[in-house]
Homo-oligomer: A and B are copies of this chain.
Amino acid sequence: MNEQGNHAEAAPKKVTTYQEARLQNTANLRQLVVDAAAIILQEEGPEAVTVRKVAQRMDCSTKIIYSLFTNKEGLAQQLYLDGCKILSNEFESTSQSEDLQQYLLNLAEVYWEFGQRHTSYYKLMFGGAFADFKPDEQGMKGTVTAMRRLLSVIVSAQEKGLIAGNSTPELIVGTIWSSLHGVIHLYIGGHLGSVAAAHVVYEQTVFQLASSLFAPAAGSV
């Protein structure tokens, strides 16, 4: 059925199929699978990521995938981690500012951009696109790592006495993340209309967050 016997005319570029990897004894088959899944995810959305389709793209049977991952959810967990890495990188490369409030605004905008440019990842990670998917322990760690910059801003602001109240920085980050996520997710779900309309809501939310957190403590200004 499959005419893969003659791999002479096969892709002369990079090792992306299982057949090529087997010939070269490539060890990181696992990464190859994740890469294939990631391409499908980004090109066709979370629902299109099926075990059979990944196998087809790798030019192998589904057995390979099930020998590398316990099941489809295991593959999703890895994609979740990869998504955390992407988000983390975007956060890390966000222009810092002496003004911590401004830095927070920058990070918030980067998070919005992540949701827009990597919508499929966003749906997979935080959107509930996979039925009953919840990040495992490793995934939770990845999330915390990704949110590191957000946490450090709050910690710094607290140290400088810019934030009133005595909430833990983790709790504050939780509220920030939740509020930002809420807008993005409602928009993705079609509840907020156009992108423009959604972004207005996002800006307003960010403004309210900042003004609430960085409120002058009891009657300055």
Q: Is the CB of B129 within 8 A of A188?
A: no
- Distance between A127 CB and nearest chain B CB, rounded to angstroms: 5
Q: Tell which of A45, A127, A192, A212 has the most Cβ of chain B within 10 Å.
A: A212
Residues of B within 8 A of A127 (CB): 128
Centre residue among A167, A201, A221 by max chain B CB count within 10 A: A201
In contact, B47 and A190 (Cβ under 8 angstroms): no
User: Which of A1-9, A18-26, A100-108, A172-180 lies at the binding interface?
Assistant: A172-180
**Distance in angstroms between the alpha carbons of A199 and B204 in the assembled complex:** 23
Closest Cβ of chain B: how far from A18's Cβ, in Å?
28
Residues of B within 8 A of A45 (CB): 132
- Docked CA distance A180–B213 (Å): 17
Instruction: Tell me if A88 is interfacial: C-beta within 8 Å of chain B.
Output: no
Nearest B residue to A181, CB-CB: B182
* Contacts known (A123-B128, A185-B185, A212-B211); A171 close to B190, Cβ less than 8 A: no
Which one of B140, B175, B181, B189 lies within 8 Å of A208 (CB-CB)?
B175
Nearest B residue to A182, CB-CB:
B182
Tell me the chain A residues, 124-181 only, with Cβ under 8 Å from chain B: 126-129, 131-135, 140, 143, 167, 171-172, 174-175, 177-181
Q: Which residue of B has the minimal Cβ distance to A206?
A: B175
* A52 is an interface residue with CB less than 8 A from chain B: no
Q: Closest CB of chain B to A188's CB: distance in Å?
A: 7
A212 to B180 alpha-carbon distance, docked (Å)? 16
Report A's interface with B, CB cutoff 8 A: 45-47, 123, 126-129, 131-135, 140, 143, 167, 171-172, 174-175, 177-183, 185-186, 188-192, 200-201, 204-205, 208-209, 211-213, 215, 219, 221
Q: List 17 other contacts, CB 8 Å, given A179-B205, A208-B208.
A: A45-B132, A47-B132, A126-B185, A126-B191, A127-B128, A171-B201, A172-B204, A175-B183, A175-B208, A178-B179, A178-B186, A178-B201, A179-B179, A179-B182, A181-B182, A181-B185, A182-B183
